[in-house]
Structure 1
Amino acid sequence: MNHHDRKILHAFFTHPISTNIDFKDAEHALIALGADLDMKNGNRVEVTLHGQKTMLHRNHHSLSKDDVAQVRKFLEGCGITAEAFPI
């Protein structure tokens, strides 16, 4: 996981919730963690990591607060924390 991916991972866990995480950056960070991304119909992306699954809506802009909170909860459920990947 490179430095940029670690910065994006830390952005998922910031308080207050970050609203400027680009979807492509989020994809790259999730892939760097070992996630499998599967494109579905309707601009949806299924993310699978450590046996856990979540669905994100792919857009051409930044992730919404709800999406960031969803990814944070998903990563916590997978046992991933920002502290495990120092910047």
Structure 2
Amino acid sequence: YKNSTPLAGLLRTPAPVDCPSCGTRALTSTNFVSGGTTHAWAAGLCLFTLLCCIPYCINGTKNVEHRCGKCGVLLATWHRSGSTEVHLH
């Protein structure tokens, strides 16, 4: 990859980054995980329906974890609120 994405600039899709752990430029691997937005949707649905499990079954309410495509270390998490939490500098 010619250019890399700063870790704080990661969003919901895989992107090329320079891994601070292994020093390799690689495409991140992404994984959807439940977070605050997922839990808030579930709580809201519990108040009005019995469908509180739906937010846990769809990726549209989940955060996105980015891991190094080479060494697998957790680099950052993109939160549904729009912010990116960097785990490794």
Per the shorter chain, which TM-score range?
Answer: 0.3 to 0.5
Structure 2 length-normalised TM? 0.35
Greater strand fraction, Structure 1 or Structure 2: 2
Structure 1 length-normalised TM? 0.36
Greater helix fraction, Structure 1 or Structure 2: 1
